[in-house]
Amino acid sequence: MSEVRLKDALDTLKDSGVRITPQRHAILEYLISSESHPTADDIYKALESDFPNMSVATVYNNLRVFLNAGLIKELTYGDASSRFDFVTHDHYHIICDDCGTIVDFHHPGLEEVEHLASHVTGFKVNSHRLEVYGTCPICASRVATTN
């Protein structure tokens, strides 16, 4: 399953003339296997043991390569670091205000909002972004017991 996704991703890259290096392979693999929407630094640290000489710049460079190829999405929140999410099927994110955990949830696309926005503003719409914020069950129970 995830092997298929990795293979597809590597094929997509090769097809657009991007060379597959060990670093790229590893970063992609980590992105696909990770459930945690990692930051660039997360990836860097996770691959440190396998690639002791890899530079942070390589992580950033290749994340941008993957972004351009449409393989991943960048998630940005407030002042924190960007997180990266391997693109699979459409989903939105819910983010814990306390601990920053990101959980996926599925919901039909908000086409009617896009249409309304386009109609009212005259913009040609490309995409939208929706995030829900709240408190995750773990943080909720921690707060409950702390009080």
- Contact residues for its own copies (CB under 8 A)? 74, 76-79, 82, 92, 94, 96-97, 103, 105-107, 110, 113-114, 116-118, 120-137, 140
* Residue given tokens 């290749």 in the structure block: 62
Distance between CA 54 and CA 39 in Å, rounded? Answer: 16
End-to-end CA distance of the chain: 44
Among 3, 19, 112, 121, binds DNA (CB under 7 A): 19
Taking the least distance from each CB to its own copies, the nearer of 51 and 77 is 77
Stretch in the footprint of DNA (CB under 7 A) among 56-64, 89-97, 111-119, 123-131: 56-64
Q: Quick check: 34 binds DNA (CB under 7 A)?
A: no
Least Å from the CB of residue 14 to DNA? 10
Q: How far apart are CA 19 and CA 136, in angstroms?
A: 40
H or E element in which residue 121 lies: helix 111-121
